[in-house]
Structure 1
Amino acid sequence: MRDRNHFEDPVAHSANAVVRLALIGYRCTGKSSLAQILAQQWGWRAVDLDKVLQERARKDIADLVREQGWHSFRMIEAELLREFSKHERVVVATGGGIIETPECRETLKRDFYTVWLTADIHTILQRMSKDANTAAQRPPLTDKTPEEEVRSLLEHRRPWYQECSILKLSTDRMSLPRLAAEIEKAMHRGDKEEFPIRIE
């Protein structure tokens, strides 16, 4: 995980303060829900990048990928992340594969306090099976079974998640309020603690 030791109060206005936060991680690790909690607590804006992309494209991600392919989707995603990297006081919930794009990895490292949310494979599969939006918003990425796909992609993406993140949190057993508290605590610590910080 990257070393970023100049962050202060998440709602402060000094030049060195955190002004935008990104949540990364695999599908169904709680990014969108946690973004809402954090934004509400801090008086910031929560941005669900997948939802913004679908609203602007006027179609579901599955349809967009089917019509234009994954490369086109990733380029649109990168453009949106670049756009919100210029905003302040935003919590951005990213898509699970955003770290596959080199430009996005650089943007996350340069412009965001980035938190990596994790969950056990079986937790992810259970959450996906209960999510009514999975089929439309989360199309299969391979021809493997769901478990094989999750296992394979987690292994493939793990180095990139680690490269981009300052903080890693497991969402298996922690409530959303507790996760929010841990993030705020880490941001307040700033240069008082040694990175990487891992809480699981």
Structure 2
Amino acid sequence: MKKPVFLVGYRCVGKSTVAFHLARMLDVPWVDLDRDMEEHARCSIEEFVQRHGWEAFRELEMLTLQRVLEEGFIVVATGGGIVTRPENIHTMRAQGLVFHLDAMPETVAARMAKDHKNGVVRPALKGVSALDEVQEIMAARAPLYAEAAHGVIKTDDLSPEAVAEEIVRSL
């Protein structure tokens, strides 16, 4: 397995956890783009966005994607909005396989509510209720995820290990 596998999808669909299990199953290096960006920026995503804005964050995200590919990471858990830049979709599709991890908005909102790091790692994007935000942004990004993905996996009722196994079967 030499081609990178990119996991895309909205917040809390399981990208990072699935990436960990997938990389173990394939015995390859993996990276979580959000955590990598935080390490290199030496601040949380929330702090970065507050200081520099969303456009600067998206630029950093694009540069980080390019860097981690050069570093040889094979499994890449992306941030939920990586598909908002067409060049990211092109890069991922041209260099590897893209799997859209998807879940119902209600599942995502429930997972977000249980995530103790939600306010720090996942800053609010719209300033509305979690479910309203999830529904609105998932609907807006649906065509972008569809454009990016080689395959879609619904994660609502699957464990992260089962999702990773499904990806392995698809490779």
For the aligned pair, the TM-score class normalised by the smaller chain equals over 0.9
> Contact 2:31–2:73 at 8 Å: present in 1 too?
no
The number of aligned residues is 171
Q: Does 1:131 align with 2:112?
A: no
Bigger radius of gyration, 1 or 2? 1
2:131 is aligned, of 147, 151, 161, to 147
Residue 156 of structure 2 aligns to which amino acid in structure 1? D
Q: Which residue of the partner structure matches residue 156 of structure 1?
A: 140
Q: Any idea what SS the aligned residue of 2:7 has? A: strand
Q: Does 1:52 align with 2:39?
A: no
TM-score computed with the length of structure 1 as normaliser? 0.82
After superposition, the C-alpha distances for 1:115-140 in whole angstroms (9 at most, x for unaligned) are 00001111111111111111011111
Q: Does 1:77 align with 2:26?
A: no
How far the C-alpha of 1:87 sits from its partner, in A, is 4.2
Superposition CA RMSD, Å: 1.2
Show the 5 A alignment for 1:12-91.
Answer: 18-88=2-72, 90-91=74-75
Q: Any idea what SS the aligned residue of 1:85 has? A: helix
Residue 38 of structure 2 aligns to which amino acid in structure 1? Q
> Contact 1:48–1:94 at 8 Å: present in 2 too?
yes
Show the 5 A alignment for 1:4-15.
Answer: 11=1
How far the C-alpha of 1:86 sits from its partner, in A, is 2.9
After superposition, the C-alpha distances for 1:19-72 in whole angstroms (9 at most, x for unaligned) are 211000000000000000011111111200000000111111111100100000
The structure carrying a bigger helix percent of its residues is 2
Q: Does 1:115 align with 2:89?
A: no
Residue 85 of structure 2 aligns to which amino acid in structure 1? T
Residue 77 of structure 1 aligns to which amino acid in structure 2? E
Which deviates the most, 83-92 or 54-63? Answer: 83-92
Gaps of 5+ in 1: 1-10, 12-17, 188-200
Same amino acid, percent of matched pairs: 35
TM-score computed with the length of structure 2 as normaliser? 0.96
Q: Any idea what SS the aligned residue of 1:50 has? A: helix
> Contact 1:20–1:87 at 8 Å: present in 2 too?
no
Gaps of 5+ in 2: none
